[in-house]
DNA sequence: ATTAGCACTCGAAAATGATGAGTGCTAACA
DNA sequence: TGTTAGCACTCATCATTTTCGAGTGCTAAT
């Protein structure tokens, strides 16, 4: 038995219905609510075939059918309607994201909030890894007798501040040191900085020997420790509105997963870099999310792939709408971050 | 009918039992499990009296009794056992909080995590309001052609960084300006800074007229906008383990409340500044938390009241243990923050 | 190939009933 | 007079049964 046009039409109708009602859908309701032009009996036969093909499944004998993972996959790949985002929602997104924010972080935080709010699911976004951007400038500012603020500026205009507990020193000395560091380190990524690199700086500054000996180990440790990728999550609690999360245990497991930065990173970073990706159930690659789906995309900074943006929700999500939102936000972010030093 | 020693003993037993089982407690179990030396019938009579006194209540006719708000109040005020924290837990807390952290923020974040973890409930902590600390130093660091980092240092050694979108200028000019600002503003709190104060700075720097005209409105807006109190929340999801939050709706309402910075601030800041406070149900002063309890305390920085720390959980919480933890953490924080410029 | 008809399945919801923890009251007792 | 044993009564909880209906698969007629 092979799959034909009509079977696909029925599959689409079933999935559409299930997505909006969260109830197994039977032949009668299908015949009634969708203009398929065939009777429920015929639909029944086709549904049995679709089940044999592994695209549908039955929770129990006398229930309707629900889509299987493979069913959703086929739906997403070939059946679903790719709706574009409404004009007014586009406006809203642009307005909020383009309202004069100075820092990339702020824009990204706003974006993830928006994404969660619009989709009613959980949104996740990762920031470009600071480690991988090239250093442009290094500064140290004396805050008080015990504290110095280290400022690392990247060539894309992002910066990172790191407070250091360093005993008294004067600003001139700090400036000399950071000037030397900047000339040695400019153009390198943080990952590139090795013990040797730091050693060369020391030799430039023999006059401040003692202080340098004190400072360098601290800087070495600092550079070594800047490696966490920032991930922002929003709308975790939204899932409580969905029928599939009505058991507290289920919800709790989801929350736990969403609190694990590593798991999220793993899930975000897996797979192709390119366009927009829809991961269904086990495709996500994480047991805890085996009955969820994820839509993710990479946004760009200066036309280079930078961070990832994703929506996570039940398998039964409105793929069409969600893809549209993720795509539009990805596009808007990439546009905002294109070619400008914020 | 007045309240006597025995009634109090029974009340205490009931509350102790209810706290650990979350089940209405009846006369028989009470007689069986507690060495009260009287029969269940007598206990029944006393319980009826306690109910008349408004200290107990009955979910329905044929159930046991549960404590009322007033019952808990009496329990907390006069009956409960004030347990001290175990030696090893004390060690753990000290070790974690005193491990060389440079910033007050970091210590506080660690503290709130600990508090949530130890109590198994939700922990909230507010940071000292930066607005109210005296300015010690002001710096501006040029990040790149479009961006300047404003650094405000308080006399307690805390600082705040604020990125400003300011077009090109050179570091010398920025230094001149911040020197002037520092000498004018040192010792003031941010709240003290008015339009007039800013005006006086301008007159000091007539030579940079144009740039000042450009800069001042930005600074004015910046100062005006630094007024949010930071609040950290941890362990919101812990409540899902408690029987009183097994209905999703209930949990959701709680989560929503915990996400509202304003509500939390309101609740934290209300009432006396002094020692440790236990707020039971409606005493919290927030409808959404009317069936929760909160234990809160103020910690000190440099021996001045600074931020608040609190645990929020169901009315049926282990008050003795929770008070002990909150108290110990408050004390440890105050100690860490005493007299030292971090 | 399609569909009407029918017997059958099985979960969900409602109805029923047993259980038992709990109460209040009364009367007997120390 | 305070305490307690005894008893009738209440009522949530749980298990069992019943009913209901949406849904299925199969067969025979179109």
Please give the radius of gyration of chain A, using alpha carbons only, rounded to the nearest integer.
26
pLDDT of residue B47 exceeding 60, the answer is yes
- Residue A309's DSSP bridge partners are A125, A297
How close does chain A come to B311, measured CA to CA in Å?
20
The answer to whether the Cβ–Cβ distance between A144 and B153 falls below 8 Å is yes
Give tens-digit pLDDT for A234-254.
999 999 999 999 999 999 999
The answer to whether the Cβ–Cβ distance between B240 and A252 falls below 8 Å is yes
Cα→Cα distances A125→A267, A294, A296, A338, Å: 11, 12, 9, 18
pTM metric for this prediction: 0.93
pLDDT of residue B57 exceeding 80, the answer is yes
Which protein residues have their Cβ less than 7 angstroms from some atom of strand D?
A 24-29, 40-41, 44, 47-48, 51, 58, 61-65; B 38-39, 41-42, 45, 59-63
Arithmetic mean of pLDDT, A53-70? 95
Arithmetic mean of pLDDT, A193-207? 82
Asked if the C-beta of B139 comes within 8 angstroms of chain A's C-beta atoms, the answer is yes
Out of A139, A146, A248, closest to residue B240 by CB: A248
> CA-to-C1' distance for B75 and C30, Å?
34
- Look at residues A130, A80, A129 and name the one whose alpha carbon lies nearest to residue A295: A80
How close does chain A come to B342, measured CA to CA in Å?
7
Asked if the C-beta of A208 comes within 8 angstroms of chain B's C-beta atoms, the answer is no
Contacts of B175 in chain A (CB under 8 A): none
Give tens-digit pLDDT for A301-338.
988 888 999 999 999 999 999 999 999 999 999 999 98
- Look at residues A289, A237, A20, A251 and name the one whose alpha carbon lies nearest to residue A123: A237
Asked if the C-beta of A100 comes within 8 angstroms of chain B's C-beta atoms, the answer is yes
Among A103, A149, A155, pick the best mutation site for testing chain B contact (most B Cβ within 10 A). Answer: A149
The answer to whether the Cβ–Cβ distance between B145 and A251 falls below 8 Å is no
How many cross-chain Cβ pairs, A to B, lie less than 8 Å apart? Answer: 88
Nucleotides, chain D, CB distance < 7 Å: 3-6, 9-12, 21-27
Give the chain B residue whose CA is nearest to the CA of A158.
B143
Give the chain B residue whose CA is nearest to the CA of A105.
B163
Assign A135 to helix, strand or coil.
Answer: strand
Among B106, B133, B134, B147, pick the best mutation site for testing chain A contact (most A Cβ within 10 A). Answer: B147
Give tens-digit pLDDT for B278-317.
999 999 999 999 999 999 999 999 888 889 999 999 999 9
Among B149, B167, B171, pick the best mutation site for testing chain A contact (most A Cβ within 10 A). Answer: B149
Arithmetic mean of pLDDT over chain A: 92
How close does chain B come to A35, measured CA to CA in Å?
38
The answer to whether B27 CB is within 7 Å of strand C is yes
The answer to whether the Cβ–Cβ distance between A237 and B248 falls below 8 Å is no
How close does chain A come to B272, measured CA to CA in Å?
33
Looking at chain A, the whole-number percentage of residues with pLDDT higher than 90 is: 73
Which nucleotide lies nearest residue B63, CA to C1'? C22
Predicted pLDDT of residue A100: 77
pLDDT of residue A341 exceeding 60, the answer is no
The answer to whether B51 CB is within 7 Å of strand C is yes
B190 — pLDDT class (breaks 50, 70, 90): confident
Asked if the C-beta of B221 comes within 8 angstroms of chain A's C-beta atoms, the answer is no
Asked if the C-beta of A225 comes within 8 angstroms of chain B's C-beta atoms, the answer is no
Which of 228-287 (A) contact B at CB < 8 A?
237, 240-241, 245-246, 248, 251-252, 255-256, 259
Cα→Cα distances A194→A128, A130, A190, Å: 22, 16, 9
pLDDT of residue B198 exceeding 70, the answer is yes
Looking at chain B, the whole-number percentage of residues with pLDDT higher than 90 is: 73
The answer to whether the Cβ–Cβ distance between A143 and B153 falls below 8 Å is yes
Predicted pLDDT of residue B129: 86
Give tens-digit pLDDT for A148-192.
999 999 988 889 999 998 886 789 999 999 999 999 999 999 888
Asked if the C-beta of B159 comes within 8 angstroms of chain A's C-beta atoms, the answer is yes
Predicted pLDDT of residue A206: 79
Higher pLDDT, A214 or B106: B106
* DSSP classification of residue A127: P
Predicted pLDDT of residue A74: 97
Arithmetic mean of pLDDT, B96-121? 94
Predicted pLDDT of residue B142: 95
Each as own residue / partner, the long-range contacts of residues B164-167 (CB below 8 Å, 24 or more positions apart, any chain) are: B164/A102, B164/B140, B164/B218, B164/B222, B165/A100, B165/A102, B166/B214, B166/B215, B166/B218, B167/B214
Predicted pLDDT of residue A253: 96
**Positive or negative CA dihedral for A263, A265, A269, A275?**
positive
Which nucleotide lies nearest residue B60, CA to C1'? D11
Arithmetic mean of pLDDT, B178-186? 92
Q: Per mean pLDDT, which range of A35-44, A197-206, B16-25, B287-296 is the poorest?
A: A197-206
B341 — pLDDT class (breaks 50, 70, 90): low
The answer to whether the Cβ–Cβ distance between A149 and B157 falls below 8 Å is no
Looking at chain B, the whole-number percentage of residues with pLDDT higher than 70 is: 98
Kind of pairing, strands B231-234 and B276-280?
A: unpaired
The answer to whether the Cβ–Cβ distance between A159 and B149 falls below 8 Å is yes
Which nucleotide lies nearest residue A38, CA to C1'? C2
Give tens-digit pLDDT for A30-59.
999 999 999 999 999 999 999 999 999 999
Dihedral angle computed from the Cα positions of residues A33, A38, A40 and A46, in that order, rounded to the nearest 10 degrees: -110
Give tens-digit pLDDT for A280-309.
999 999 999 999 999 999 999 988 888 999
Nucleotides, chain C, CB distance < 7 Å: 2-5, 8-11, 20-26
């Amino acid at each position: 038995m092979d799959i034909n046009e009509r079977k696909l039409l029925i599959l689409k109708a079933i999935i559409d219905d299930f997505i909006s009602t969260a109830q197994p859908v039977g032949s009668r309701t299908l015949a009634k609510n969708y203009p398929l032009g065939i009777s429920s009996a015929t639909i029944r036969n086709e549904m049995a075939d679709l089940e044999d093909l592994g695209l549908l499944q039955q929770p129990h004998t006398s229930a309707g059918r629900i889509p299987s993972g493979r069913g959703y996959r086929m739906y997403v790949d070939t059946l679903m309607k790719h709706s574009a985002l409404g004009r007014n929602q586009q406006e809203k997104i642009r307005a909020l994201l383009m309202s004069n924010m100075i820092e990339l972080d702020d824009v990204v935080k706003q974006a993830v909030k928006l994404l969660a709010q619009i989709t009613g699911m959980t949104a996740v976004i990762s920031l470009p890894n600071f480690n991988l951007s090239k250093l442009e400038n290094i500064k140290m500012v004396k805050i008080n007798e015990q504290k110095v603020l280290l400022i690392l500026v990247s060539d894309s205009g992002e910066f990172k501040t790191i407070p250091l507990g360093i005993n008294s020193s004067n600003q001139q000395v700090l400036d000399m040191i950071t000037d030397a560091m900047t000339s040695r380190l400019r153009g390198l990524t943080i990952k590139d900085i090795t013990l040797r690199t730091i050693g060369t700086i020391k030799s430039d500054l023999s006059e401040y020997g003692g202080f340098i000996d004190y400072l360098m180990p601290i800087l070495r440790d600092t550079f070594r420790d800047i490696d966490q990728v920032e991930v922002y999550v929003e709308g975790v609690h939204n899932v409580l509105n969905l029928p599939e999360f009505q058991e507290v245990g289920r919800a709790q497991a989801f929350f736990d997963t969403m609190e694990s930065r590593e798991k999220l990173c793993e899930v975000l970073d897996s797979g192709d870099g390119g366009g927009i990706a829809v991961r269904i159930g086990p495709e996500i690659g994480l047991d805890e999310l085996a009955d969820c789906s994820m839509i993710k995309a990479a946004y760009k900074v200066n036309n280079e792939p930078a961070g990832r943006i994703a929506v996570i929700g039940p398998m039964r999500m409105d793929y069409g709408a969600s893809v549209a939102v993720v795509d539009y936000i990805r596009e808007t972010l990439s546009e905002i971050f294109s070619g400008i030093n914020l």
